Amino acid sequence: MTMTVFLGLSATELLALASAVVLVLARWLPPGARRPCAWAGAAAFAVSAIVAAVLGIRWQLIPVLAGGALALAFAVPGLLGRPARRARWWLALPGSAACLALVLAGAVAAWALPRPVFPEPSGAYAVGTTVMQWTDPDRAETATSRADDRRTVVVQLWYPAQRDPAARRAWYLGRTAEEAQLVARGEAEYLGLPGFILDEAARAGTRSASDVPVAARGGRFPVVLFSPGLGGVRTQSTAWAEELASRGYVVAALDHPYDSAVVTLVGGRTIRTRVASTGDQAEDDRRAAGWTAVRAADLGFVLTQLGRLDRGELPGLLAGRLDLRRAAATGHSLGGAAALQAARQDPRFAAVIDIDGFPRDPAPQPFHQPVLALTHDVQPGEAPDYIPRLTRVLQLSTATSYRLTVPGSAHLTFTDAPLFLPPLPALVGSLGRTAGPRITAGATAAFLDAALRGESGDLAAALSRYGHLTVL
């Protein structure tokens, strides 16, 4: 795996960038320095280009190599001997500027869209992960017209594990490199972006080890179910899941077929999303309520399957290690709405975390679980119904609930997106690459420790460290 050292570039790529810049600028140096600098730039550029080709050229490096190659072509006559005639400066300047722009564009792309580096989990446990697929025989798949098609979900578990330095680290976006690439391309297409944009995320590894034994100590672990955002995939909050698992929780994240951008089933069948906006607000709200209801049912079904897994009725690593009496329904965006609805419908959930999700339950009713609602920094005039409706739903809980607004955050701040998307405030907030995942993990862990483990302490004070808190 290529190690990045600066601006999202590896040492080889930095050499290619620097040598390309030298080739572009050599023409503008004093006469005595032109040929030596051009020779040095050409040699370094050739070596770095060859090494990059052997290791695999990332798309961000293509503009750098193109700009350097053009500059090298213009420098060749000077390298072979003083040219008989040099282009006038006003003719050469646009060419040099174009080459330099290409080189710098590649550097900016590498900085803006780096390979994500996941934070080291801070808990006492190593983290393992495994993927399962379950079919609900009692529910028809409403997204298809086949009468015999049953609802199937893919679930990824992160859990406290035994430490094994030799264990293979899991890919970020899939069970295999091929699945990770497929998911990355599907997510990019869902967002309306070129398919190659998320290639670096597809190549990323995580802090989890695949299918390693469960930690020998710790007894039974509380369980946290997670539903991703609209069109999102089960791995979209891996940094958060790994942090919770290192602290002694089992996190079960769902892929919702026909909703998640891409879902790969056992056997290789791929299901693309059928979620689409119509542009009509009333119709889109109706559809969102339907998608939320399906997701809420998925969460309840997975909780049932986890109970069967714990009892040994289903194969898996975690038999006898799950405490389903301490289970939380959580989710981001539409997944947060689904978590609220699932908890209202299913008293087996002991707590709820809604991560920036607009409530979609068409018939909200009182429920007994405590709720933590994380919201982004809503600006005046933005989504005027969001906070009032969320507050009304939270007030339906018979337990104390909390709404925490994180300053400087955006909707994607609470996911892995800041680790690998451009650091634009409107997109991922203004907290930097790592603060969003850290705040999300810290706030939710404090809430779960109180709600599921009964740990005493001033929860309001702990949550207030991360933003503006309203206690309901």
CA separation for the pair 284, 362 (Å, rounded):
13
* Residues whose CB falls within 8 Å of the CB of residue 288, separated by 6 or more in sequence, listed in order: 230, 334, 337, 360
pLDDT at 223: 98
pLDDT at 82: 57
385-413 tens-digit pLDDT = 999 999 999 999 999 999 999 999 999 99
| Nearest residue to 158 (alpha-carbon basis) of 205, 200, 210, 117 | 210
Average pLDDT rounded to a whole number, residues 204-209: 97
For residue 214, give the amino acid letter. Answer: V
Lowest mean pLDDT of 69-73, 98-102, 223-227, 413-417, name the range: 69-73
* Residues whose CB falls within 8 Å of the CB of residue 337, separated by 6 or more in sequence, listed in order: 288, 292, 295, 331, 354, 357, 358, 359, 360, 361
DSSP letter (8 states) at residue 259: T
Given pLDDT bands bounded at 50, 70 and 90, which one contains residue 32? confident
Environment class of residue 220 by beta-carbon count within 10 Å: exposed (0-12), middle (13-18) or buried (19+)? middle
Average pLDDT rounded to a whole number, residues 104-127: 94
Q: Which run of H or E residues covers position 280?
A: none
Dihedrals φ, ψ of 36, to 5°?
Answer: -60, -40
For 266, the token pair is 């056992």
Query: Using N-to-C axis directions, what is the helix angle for 31-55 and 61-79, rounded to 10°?
Result: 140
126-471: CATH class: alpha beta
Given pLDDT bands bounded at 50, 70 and 90, which one contains residue 1? very low
Pairing of strands 221-227, 4-6: unpaired
Q: What percent of the chain is predicted at pLDDT more than 70?
A: 95
CA separation for the pair 127, 13 (Å, rounded):
32
* Residues whose CB falls within 8 Å of the CB of residue 318, separated by 6 or more in sequence, listed in order: 157, 159, 214, 250, 309, 310
DSSP letter (8 states) at residue 412: G
Better-predicted residue by pLDDT, 30 or 454: 454
Pairing of strands 169-171, 205-210: antiparallel
**In the chain, what are the helix, strand and coil shares in percent, each to the nearest 5?**
45, 20, 40
231-276 tens-digit pLDDT = 999 999 999 999 999 999 999 999 999 999 999 998 889 999 988 8
Mapped onto helix, strand or coil, the DSSP state of residue 429 is coil
Would you say residue 214 has pLDDT above 70? yes
Would you say residue 6 has pLDDT above 80? no
Average pLDDT rounded to a whole number, residues 86-100: 77
pLDDT at 192: 87
pLDDT at 231: 92
CA separation for the pair 123, 249 (Å, rounded):
10
Cβ-contact 239, 439 below 8 angstroms: no
pTM of the model: 0.92
406-450 tens-digit pLDDT = 999 999 999 999 999 999 999 999 999 999 999 999 999 999 999
334-379 tens-digit pLDDT = 999 999 999 999 999 999 999 999 999 988 999 999 999 999 999 9
Pairing of strands 371-375, 402-405: parallel
Dihedrals φ, ψ of 337, to 5°?
Answer: -60, -40
CA separation for the pair 6, 182 (Å, rounded):
28
pLDDT at 36: 87
For 219, the token pair is 């007894």
Cβ-contact 374, 344 below 8 angstroms: no
Domain boundaries, the chain: 4-112, 126-471
pLDDT at 28: 83
Mean pLDDT, the chain, as a whole number? Answer: 92
pLDDT at 7: 67
CA separation for the pair 352, 225 (Å, rounded):
10
pLDDT at 252: 98
For residue 278, give the amino acid letter. Answer: T
